[in-house]
Each structure stands twice: as C-alpha cells, then as structure tokens.
Structure 1
Amino acid sequence: MSRSSGFPHQARIFDHLVDDAAVFPPGLAPADVAVREHLDRRDGPYAAQLGPLLLPASAAAEVAALVAPDPRASERPLRVGLIVRPGGSLDPLVEGVDLLRDEPAVAVASVDVGWGDDWRRTMDLRVPVVVEVGVGAEQQAALDDIARAVDDGADVRAKFRTGQTPTWAWPDEATLAGFLDATVLRGLSFKLTGGLHHVVRGEYADEAMHGLLNVLVATHDALDGAEAPDLAELLAATDVEHLVRRVTALDDQDVDRLRASFTGFGCCGVLDPLTELEALGLLPERTTA
C-alpha cells in the first residue's frame, strides 16, 4: 500500500506510544548507546511518538552518571522507566528510584514489576506502577488485584508480554484477546511489551508477531463491548488497507478513550513500527532543511 498524502488528525493516537526498550533483548544496546540515541530521538522526527527509555532497575546509577553531563538532560530531564522482571527482587527498584530522586537530569516515569505477593511495595515509591501478568487463572487473580489497587486510588496499570522469550511461549491471538477482554472489562489501563515490531500481524523471519494496528483496533472494539472471539479475529487480520481504514476512521473521542486504555508498549527497536506507520501515511511526513 502506498503512502497517502499528509496525515490524519488521528495521528495523535501514536503520541508517546512506543517506549524505548533498546537495552533489552534482542536489541541489547549498551547503556551509553541507548541513552545517546534516545536523547537524539526525542529531538528528532519521531519525538512525538517516543515514550520513556526503559532500563533495568540495576542500571539506575550507571544511567545517572551517563546523563548528568549532557546539557540536553539538564534542560529537560531524561524520562526513564525502571524495570524488574517477574520473579526478581524489588530491592534494586526501590534503590534505583531513591537514587534518581536526587538526580535532576533523570525523571522516573514509571516502575515495572511482575505480579506477586510483594508487588504492592512499589506503590510506596509514589510513581506510576506497571504490573506484568501471566496467563490463565493467575492472570485473572492478578488483574483482580490490580483493579482493587486502582479502586483504592493507586496509579497502576497491567502489562502483558506479546513476544516470546526462552521461558514464555508466544501468546496467540486467542490468548492476547483474552487479556484485552479481561483488562477492558475491569476498566484497567494496560501496556504491552515484546514482539510489536510491525504494524500488521504476520510471519516475520519465520516468527509469528502481533501487529500494532491490530491491537489498536481490537482495543477499540473491546471498549465498545466486543468479546474475546471477535477480538481474536481482529488480532489475526492481515488486510493492511482494512486496518488502516479502521484506525483513520476513529474520531477524537475514540482516540482519547483508546489511549486511556492502551497507554504504550515497549519495543527494543523503536524505529521498526514507526517507519512502517510513516510508510502507510499514518504519521506526519518528515521534512528536511
């Protein structure tokens, strides 16, 4: 499909949607490279679509030392999300947040943890909390727990992994649809992580991947009351033009409601989905001097 001319007002649906997970697999960028490139990108043509830089909590001190001398961060602090993978100790997270409170060049945008017995310790850190959930009965228990925290006034959202890892099987369309359905039914906001490198569902280098546009359309329909089987069909769709039409047909109210639900996703190659969106005419055209 060729680019359309210009871009629709709905392009703001992608604002600050893609969190920069460059240091995580499979990208595994060194911290100094990730920080430098992120600071460059937040002033570049994709600045509007860029979310915070995601980092292991254990890297807080290293990143603070890298950022402190950069004049760009003194004028506008680097926004970071500190992450502890599911099953990991929360101590590095607590220590990292405490350390960065004293570093004016870095602002902690969120902390990410796995759901477990002690995840609520993170609510004492006074930053938004993202809680990664699993599948099956554990997922339902986790989402109920998160919903109770939200009802009590906490700034918490759920997170689900859409890409496979050595210990996590790729969640198919039915599995992802079940998460979307369960999350929307509870009125929760959510983030995704892993595997959303492309805008349309497909097989890429012999690996199945979910599509960003599929997720956006499925989330919209879930908010309108569609149930898991219908969401799974949308997540499996490969008709690019149909998905583009669906997204560009959204009005301002649709965009606001959708982004209040689907708040972002981590991607180790942030340019991958953004350049595809641009090629489809869904982002502003880049200009050159």
Structure 2
Amino acid sequence: MSIPNAVRILLEGLVDYAGLFPPAQLDMAGALQQFAEHRDSDAAWMLGRFIVPAARLGELEAAAAPLFPRAPASDPWRLSVLSADPSADTARITAFNDAHADHRAGLAVIDTIELKAATAADIERVAAGVRRGLVTYVEIPVSADPAELLGVLARVGARAKVRTGGVTPEAFPSVTDLARFIRASVDAGVPFKATAGLHHPFRGAYRLTYAEGSATAPMYGFLNVFLAAGLASRGLSLAELEQVLQTGDRAAFTLDDLGAGWGAYRLDLDDLLHARTRIATTFGSCSFAEPVDDLHTLEIL
C-alpha cells in the first residue's frame, strides 16, 4: 500500500519519543533500546526526538553508549532536553554536543529544549537562559486565554507547548480551551508542540494507563489536533475548531495524494506543509508503537 502524500506530510518526524515518562515510564536503558529499535523500523520516518530531562543526560550517555551511531556518515540521534533552569543546564548541553559531534563517541545532538512558564515574566526569564541555536518550546497554561503569553513567546523567539492529556481525566484540557489555544497560536504566529494523551489518531474513549483495570476517558486524536491547526490557518471559527477536535469518525476525514480534509473543508499539500512547519510541529508520546499500530489498523499506513 502506497502512503498518500498528505499522510507523509502530516506524519513525517511527528512523534517525539517520551518513553521515560508516564504512563510507560520505562527505565533509561529500556527507553533507549525502544528508541533505537524504532529508528530501525519501517516507521522510522515518523520518529522525531528522544525526550530526556537535563538532569539525566549523564545517565543517558552511559546507557546509550552502545546504541549511538558511530559510522562517520550516520544520522545522529536527535534529543530534546527538558530543563527547569536553562542557564544552569547550558554547560552540560554544550559539553554533550561537543562530545557527540565526534562519531567515535557516538553521534547525537541536543537541538531542542523544553521549558515551562506560567506568566509573561516567567517566559522572559527562562527564555533568556537558553543557549543560542536551540529550538525552544515553553509549556504554558491554556485554562485561561493564552494570547498574552503567546505574544511574549513571539517576542522572544520561542515556541509554545500545550499539554493535551495525562494519566487522569483532569489532565486533559477542555475542547474549548484547546481550540482557543490553537486559534491563538495561529493568530500570534507561534508554532507549537503538544504533549501527553495523543496516542491515537482520532478522538475517542481510551484507557488512560497500561495498568490492568485502568480508567478510560475521552482523548484527543493527534490527527484531529494537527488538522485543526491547519484548518485554523484557513479561518475556521472557534466553534468549528471544537468540532474538528471532537470528531471521532474516521470517515469525516480525507487523506489523499492531493491533500486532507474535514467535512467540506480542504487543505492542499502546501497548506499541510505550512501547518507542520509553521504551526503544529510535533507531539510527545511515551509510546511510538501505539500510534503506528493504530494507523495501520485504520489503513492510513
């Protein structure tokens, strides 16, 4: 089965692997082994970065030593570091990148940093500590109108991060809040990544954890979120964006060689490429296999 152009654009490099975090919460060796296997899989083109807390970089270096690519022409592992204090973490990030630019040490690069801030002042403070050259995402709250915070992110040259779920129903933002965030991100010209709760392509009720007897809750679909981002740039209203986010029917969406659509609305391939590069860039997931398996089940891949 050939993969439609729209699917290629939507999914390429889409999933940042967060196997260290709940609900998977693997140990370092297990998460790194999973990432290495995913890099060698048929779905490797969908894989983005390995997400690691800055405080665990030393642990990662030791555990990944046998896994990092060492051939001179190999593609390095790309890492995104979670940092609570980028000023303090700059030295270790620089040292890591300097060491692993040499193929004999194993090729890897930290090219992205993820921060968290609740106020405009917090954003300015944490962004000021970031080393030049790192793509910077700042997780912001979305329970209130995020327009002001997104304006600050635009001013400091950072991107936004939105939490789209978790291991409890309360961790999921309301449909109204998420639609408002997407609309405001487009209006501010601030790209965003999503994190948590996006294991499945389309909206539906799913288990919150992998534990036996886990509760279920409505989860957002990653295709819902990323198509909503593209459609927001075409001027859909907040009410319409909410409908996109809540649509669980696969038949309501089209994905083909000419573009993608929801209902009567269409995005051509240029629209999709713009959405992926300038609006909604990636999402973090503690599972890579789960999204891939669902896409196969739905015959999208």
- Please give the root-mean-square deviation of Cα atoms over the aligned residues, in Å: 2.2
Match status 1:70 vs 2:83: no
Residue 262 of structure 1 aligns to which amino acid in structure 2? Answer: A
The CA deviation string for residues 13-42 of structure 1, in whole angstroms up to 9 with x for no partner, is 200000000001111111111112211211
Match status 1:258 vs 2:275: yes
Quote how far apart the aligned CAs of 1:190 are.
0.7
Q: Distance in 2 between matches of 1:213 and 1:100?
A: 34
Q: 1:133 aligns with which of 134, 140, 144?
A: 140
Name 1:269's counterpart in structure 2.
287
Residue 119 of structure 1 aligns to which amino acid in structure 2? Answer: V
* Equivalent residues of 2:32, 2:64 under 8 A apart: yes
Equivalent residues in 2 for 1:17-28, closer than 5 Å: 17-28=14-25
Name 1:157's counterpart in structure 2.
159
The CA deviation string for residues 30-83 of structure 1, in whole angstroms up to 9 with x for no partner, is 111111221121121110000010011111111122233436255432211001
* Equivalent residues of 1:93, 1:111 under 8 A apart: no
User: Taking structure 1 as reference, are residues 62 and 141 closer, same or farther at Cα in structure 2, changes over 3 Å only?
Assistant: same
Q: 1:93 aligns with which of 89, 108, 111?
A: 89
Equivalent residues in 2 for 1:187-266, closer than 5 Å: 187-205=189-207, 206-245=216-255, 247=260, 250-260=267-277, 261-266=279-284
Name 1:36's counterpart in structure 2.
33
Match status 1:174 vs 2:176: yes
Quote how far apart the aligned CAs of 1:169 are.
3.2
Aligned length: 271
Structure 2: which 5+ residue stretches go unaligned?
101-106, 208-215
Q: Distance in 2 between matches of 1:122 and 1:263?
A: 23
Q: Distance in 1 between matches of 2:222 and 2:163?
A: 13
Q: Distance in 2 between matches of 1:137 and 1:250?
A: 29
Aligned residues with identical type, % of pairs: 29
Q: Normalized against structure 1, the TM-score is what?
A: 0.86
Structure 2 residue matching 1:81: 3-state secondary structure: strand
Residue 206 of structure 2 aligns to which amino acid in structure 1? Answer: Y
* Equivalent residues of 2:161, 2:194 under 8 A apart: yes
Q: Distance in 2 between matches of 1:73 and 1:135?
A: 42
Q: Normalized against structure 2, the TM-score is what?
A: 0.83
Runs of 4+ in 1 over 6 A off after TM superposition: none
Q: Distance in 2 between matches of 1:202 and 1:69?
A: 39
